[in-house]
Each structure stands twice: as structure tokens, then as C-alpha cells.
Structure 1
Amino acid sequence: MSSIAEQDLADRRARAIQQLLHTPLLHRDTPSFDTIATSEQWLKEWFLRTCGWILIVDYRRGMARLRKVTGWIDSTHPQRSLRTGKSTFTIRKYVTFCLTAAALGEHGRSRISLQDIAVAVSDLSVRAKVSPFTDLDHKDRQALVDVLMLLSALRVVTELDRTGRDYSVDPTGNVLYEIDERRLGQLLVAPLPPARCSTWQQMAADPHPQPSSGAPLDAHRLRQHLMRRLLDQPLCYLSDLPDDDAAAVSDHTEHITQWLSEAGLALEIRADAWMVVNRRAGTARSLRDGSNVSNCALLVLPQLTAQPSGWISATHLATLVDELLDEYPWWARSLRNDRNRADAVATVLRSFDLIRPQSDGWRIMPAAWRWAARVDPACLPPSSSPIPTQPAQDDLFSVEPTHQ
């Protein structure tokens, strides 16, 4: 194979890895699906070696499933309603999702109506001893519609026919769905399968827990632990690791850098943290995604890093966001009309671990200085007022970035 062909194959595999990380349950119409199918064995070995994750590819059904198990809870990326596009799933909606999946699994036939799903979810809510589901409650109907829209997007159910009004508005509305049992069975991802557990707590238990004595992880497990963190959250603060692991991470730079390079990603090593940067056009998340809220977050960052205490109150953050929008009155109208705009900006910053909640405000994390030094003026229209930026403050990082 020529060097050009080898590089092309490596690029396609890197895009496939990023696609699977971005969409762990994907379908035949995904651009990288053909590469996933033709490089199935290589990708399976890569994910198993680097992260201990299992990749399942079913070409006949047009499905690929990356079984990501991280071992920690991340509340910064909640599922959003496909019906509204903005509101996030509440605990009630997550419970409804689980009850709906259970109802589909117990149905025993390939087709089911929305009305039958509602009855089954109501019965299961009583059996599970949670707040009973009732189709007389408008919020419960909205929750069920949001869940079914998500399951439709995942191709777990497919709409075949519809009668009456929207179920969220009228409880007599009905929809006929076809169930894909294969995809339904792949929804649940846990360290241990249900067949080996008697309670859900056992399913959620880490199969490779940190030794109780405080002994460090062995070399390969530590590398996999770091890779899982970096691929799921592209920022790993050394202070979040156990002391012995934090002291040993420098011994694994070569392996981690090589693995990330195979995924089309680069590693930045700084005194406080390791960061993953996507330097190719791909599907990895980026703070510079072009949205108004992300651009606003970037432009507010220099103001945050200028806080001498490294902390800012929620009220002060809201004031900074309002002042920025006032300075550019013709920009970001959709964000300007959002009463929760400050919360939206804080959510973006928190999702990249640039700020963390503390007391009645936000603690500004060291990685914020990395982004604050690179505000792109092109994201705003011309204005007579200068764009609010600050000089680079990379002195917090005693180690220069390493790009490979």
C-alpha cells in the first residue's frame, strides 16, 4: 500500500473514531459507516486496547454501537428535547425513558401503539414504585413524546402511522410504531450486564475499582483510564487524579499521544492539565462551534480570567454577558431574547470544565486561560467599540503545549 493510500486510510479511520465518540449509536446513513464496516476489526481492537470499550458492528442492520463505560457521572451534557431543541431532560424524563424502554422490551411483538406504550409505562411506574405516570398530566405526556422522539432518532422505534392530534396536546392522539429489538437491546451500557447482577447498583459498579489501600493503578489500566477521561471530557486536570496516578502520568505521554494521533487528535500537556485538541475537520466537540452562545462564552472568558480571586458570582457573570450584548446591539438576537442567557453561557463553559460551581458563583479553572488568549474577532460584526479581549496569560502553565 502506498504512503498516500495509507494516509487516506488513517484519516478515514480517525474520522470514524471521532464519529463513534460523538454518536455512540449510529446508523448506515452516517458518513463514516462504510469505513466502520470495512475497518471493523481494526476499530474494535483500537477501542479495546486504548479504552477497554467494546464496539459492536451489525452491517446487515446498518448499526454500530460503541459501548462507552467511563466509571464516573457527568452531569454537564444532559440530553436535550428534540421537540423544543432547548430544554434538557429532567429526572422525570430520564425515568420515563427507562420505563418506556422496559415497556418496549416486555411487549413481545414488533409493533406497538403509543396508547399501549402509555398504559405499559403507567403500569411499570407503579411496579417500580416511582411517581405514577398518567396521561391526564400534560407534563407526563410531553415527557413521553420527548422520549419517543429520542427513540425514533436512535431508530429504536419507527413511526408507521399517526391518527388524531399531537399526543402532548390531546391524550387521545395515537401513533403506531415498529420496534427494532436489536437497537433496543443495545441501549443499555453498563460495566456489568444485567444477567450477572441482581440490583442496578451492581450493574453500575466499576469492574476495575481503585484499590482500597490507595495503591496506584497498573500502567495499562492507568493509560486506559486517562484515555477514557480525555475522549469523554477532552480536559483532564491532574488535581482530579489520585496522587500516585497524577505523579505517574508523565510516564504514559508517549502511549497517550500515539493513541490520540490515531484518532486525529492532538495532546496539549500543561502544568495543570492534559487537553485534547481536534486539529482536523471532524465531529469532536469544539468551543468554537459558531453558535451565538459559544461565541459569547469565548468573548466573556477574558473578563473571567481577569478576576483576581479566580472566582466570580453568578450575578456578576450575568452582568458581563449583558454588557457584552449591549456593546454589540445587532449581534446574537436569539441569545439576547433568551432570559436564561447567562445560564446558557455558564453551561457551555462548564461543559468544557473551564468553570466549576463554587458557593454562589463559579470557580475559574486554569484551562480558561488557554481559551481566553485566543478570541477570534471574526465572530462579531464590525463595531465602533473594541472587542473585549485580554492579553494572553499563559504564565499559569509552565509547560508549553505539545502537538503531534
Structure 2
Amino acid sequence: MVSVEELDLAVRRARAIQDLLSRPLIDRRQPSFETIATSERWLKDWFFRTCGWVLVVDYRHGMARLRKVTGTADTTSPLRSLRQAGKPFTKRQYVVFCLVTAALGEHGRSRVSLQDIAVAVADLSVRAAVTPYNDLERKDRQAMVDVLLHLTKLGIATELDRSGRDYGSDRGSNVLYQIDERRLAQLLVAPVPPARCADWRQMMVEERHRPHDLEGPSRLATAAAKQRLMRRLLDRPVCYPADLGPDEAAVMRGGVAEIRQWLGEAGLDLEVRADAWMVVHRRAAAQRTLRDGSNVANAALLLLDTIIQLDVEWISATQLSSAVDELLAKYSWWAKSLRKDTQRMAAITALLVAFDLIRPEAGGWAIMPAAWRWKASVAPESFPAALQTAEPAALIQEDLFTVEPM
């Protein structure tokens, strides 16, 4: 029989795994950091055994870094501006991000001013043969601010002193930063270290086990296939067999029990269906479910319900936009902020793409099989009394919907 203490430890470890998956670089301010530190050996073994990932824990400096390597490009979770209401990073902002972190790595001192960073970034941009950084350009300065805000959030840069106004609007402004070199050193994660590469593309080439030997699939190859499948399931909650290679597909046919056990240790459930595997967390973890109560998520769920009723496999972008407008018209007293948002369609479709429920295809959207899993139910009796009349007397909170899987 499992004791209460063992159950509690399993729950805390599962929560720590989920925190590390959603935020791979965390510090002691996170509630799960104590569990990460006390269960360091168990967590390191779990990540390496299930995904081939390395977990670095520095208890003295209050840092834990999960070195995730996916082997595939993922455009569904971009960096988002902390200054511009979550607007995704542009290519230029990513370039500035790389230049800033490289400049901090070359700096060699624990304290550096923003003006010194700007000079170093301008020099590095010329050496790297990219569009030169120009502090006379407002967009470049704003990109610098966005990058430094992210580095501050990660604990890599800490503001010590400030003079002038915001650097994005005033190039004469300055900020003194304390740089955490340990966190900075752990920021870059790649299958191959830069020192071993003649070109940056070589950093992305992950060494793989030989898939077959003379007697069939080797044990190492099977283990590697399980790790790749596990990475896929942890990064994206829906996995379609058609998207997998032959080795991973073989694991889906014969490795359900082990994969289910691993996911269970992470506090996640595996739904095995004929058309897809789906990983869900029924109790929490907004990054793993559409049921986070936001306007965008609720609109996406209602949109899925509309699509299911159409019983189609493809829908045009115009039809999808019209469906959203019809939903907002139907619930005219709900989601005022979403109705005013000119980028609402981009946000809704980005969420559905992130969960692999729709995919862009030929001027429209392909409806993926997993979309039929979700069903949004709006129970009138759950509305406040003011809204159970034909003419709502007042607006209510924007989290209205109770959502259950089909």
C-alpha cells in the first residue's frame, strides 16, 4: 500500500516536472524549486530516461535549468513581448536577442550598462554580417528593450540603477545591469556545443542511434524512438501517427503502457484513440488544456463546436472569421475586450494551431481529427440571474463556459 507521504511526494514531483516543462529556466522563487532541489536525483533520472534531456540544478544560486532538445522546429510558442501586450517576437527581435546574449557572454564582467551593451551589439552585428544594429532606429532600441525585459524575467539581468527615460523612446537613457553569468551560460541549449561546430546549422544535428541492426530494431534504437515520441507528447498535446517516423509509429503500436506510466508520473493522462494520441491534464496546467477561462480559449472552444456541427474537413479563412463574428453576435453581452481586439482571429487560430486542432492549408484551415474531441457546453442555468432573462441587465465576468471532453 502506498503511504500518504509517498502520494504527496509523487504529486509534488509531478508538479515540478510540469513547471520545468512550461518554464525550463526557473529560480528559487518558484513554489516547486524546493521539490526540484530535494528530488534532484530522481528528476534528473526521469528526464534523462524518458526524454534524453539533462536537468541542471544549482541549489546554492537558486537555479534549475531543463536542457530541452526537441530536434524539430516549433513555431507555435514564440517569445512574446512583455511591453507590447504579448505580441510575438519578429525576426529582427530574435536577431537582437542573439546579439545581446552573445555580447553579454563576451563582456566578462558582472555589471554592464545598457549603453555598453548597445555598442557591443552594434559591433557584433557587423562581425556577424547581419543588418547592423542602429541605436538611431527606434525599432532597434525597442527590440533591445524587449530582449532585456525577457532576460530580466529569467533572472539573467537585474536592474541596479537607471537614468533618463525609457531607452526605446530616448536613446540617451541608460540602465546599469547585474548579469548572472551562471544563468547566461545555461541559456543556450543545442544537441552539439557551439565549440564543436563550424556552422550554426551543425548545432541542430542531434546524434541518433543506428535504427536497425541485423536482428531487427536494437534496444538503443527503440529507447531513442520512445524518447523522441515522449518529447513530442510533452511539447505538443496531440500526436498523429501520420506525422511520425516508422520507429516512433512502432512505439505507438507496442509501447503504450510505458509511455502512459511516464506521463502519469508527470501528472498527465494519455488518451489513446484510433486517429491520435492526446495528452491532457484534467485538473490544472493551463498550458496543457484549452480550459484556462480566457476569452480567446473560450472563443476557440465555441468555434470548434461550430466546426464540428459543419462536419467538414476544411474551412476557408473567410468562413472561419465569419463563424467567430457570429459567435460574438450570439453572445453579445460577453467578451467585450475580445470584440474590440482587431487581432482576435490571429489569437484564436494561433491557439488552435498550437494544440494541432487546425492546420493552415490552401488558403484555409484543415480540420484535424482531434478537433472532434472537444465540445463546449453553455448551460443557461449556470448564468447569473441577470442573464437568464431575454434582456441582460448587466455584463458579467468573462469566464462563462464549462468545457468537458466528448
TM-score (norm 2): 0.90
Check conservation: 1:237, 1:273, Cα contact below 8 A: yes
Check conservation: 1:355, 1:363, Cα contact below 8 A: yes
Which of the residues 291, 302, 306 maps onto 1:303?
Answer: 306
Check conservation: 1:267, 1:276, Cα contact below 8 A: yes
Partner of 1:21: 21
- Report sequence identity in percent: 60
Q: Which amino acid aligns with 1:129?
A: A
Partner of 1:369: 372
Partner of 2:202: 202
Q: Does 1:221 align with 2:224?
A: yes
Separation of aligned partners in 2, 1:270 and 1:164: 59
Separation of aligned partners in 2, 1:63 and 1:128: 31
Structure 1 residues 160, 72: CA separation in 2 closer, same or farther (over 3 Å shift)?
same
- The within-5 A match list for 1:26-41 is 26-41=26-41
Partner of 1:127: 127
Separation of aligned partners in 2, 1:313 and 1:283: 29
| Larger RCO, structure (CA 8 Å, separation 6 or more) | 1
Separation of aligned partners in 2, 1:299 and 1:169: 41
Structure 1 residues 119, 76: CA separation in 2 closer, same or farther (over 3 Å shift)?
same
Check conservation: 1:264, 1:279, Cα contact below 8 A: no
Separation of aligned partners in 2, 1:324 and 1:48: 46
Check conservation: 2:228, 2:248, Cα contact below 8 A: no
Check conservation: 2:359, 2:365, Cα contact below 8 A: yes
Which of the residues 242, 267, 271 maps onto 2:270?
Answer: 267
Separation of aligned partners in 1, 2:2 and 2:71: 41
Q: Which amino acid aligns with 1:71?
A: G
Partner of 2:397: none
Following TM superposition, where does structure 1 have runs of at least 4 consecutive aligned residues deviating by more than 4 angstroms?
Answer: 209-213, 376-381
Partner of 2:234: 231
1:210, distance to aligned residue in structure 2 (A)? 7.7
Q: Which amino acid aligns with 1:42?
A: W
Separation of aligned partners in 1, 2:209 and 2:342: 43
Q: Which moved more, 1:268-277 or 1:248-257?
A: 248-257
Q: Which amino acid aligns with 2:98?
A: C
1:198, distance to aligned residue in structure 2 (A)? 2.1
Check conservation: 1:257, 1:266, Cα contact below 8 A: yes
Check conservation: 1:16, 1:32, Cα contact below 8 A: yes
Structure 1 residues 307, 5: CA separation in 2 closer, same or farther (over 3 Å shift)?
same
1:84, distance to aligned residue in structure 2 (A)? 1.8
Partner of 2:260: 257
Runs of 5+ consecutive residues of structure 2 not aligned to the other structure: 392-400
Check conservation: 1:305, 1:364, Cα contact below 8 A: no
Q: Does 1:352 align with 2:361?
A: no
Structure 1 residues 105, 377: CA separation in 2 closer, same or farther (over 3 Å shift)?
farther
Structure 1 residues 216, 131: CA separation in 2 closer, same or farther (over 3 Å shift)?
farther
Q: Which moved more, 1:253-262 or 1:218-227?
A: 218-227
Separation of aligned partners in 1, 2:370 and 2:166: 46
Partner of 1:402: none
Structure 1 residues 376, 33: CA separation in 2 closer, same or farther (over 3 Å shift)?
farther
Separation of aligned partners in 2, 1:263 and 1:216: 28
TM-score (norm 1): 0.91
Separation of aligned partners in 2, 1:374 and 1:335: 18
Separation of aligned partners in 1, 2:157 and 2:286: 25
1:283, distance to aligned residue in structure 2 (A)? 6.0
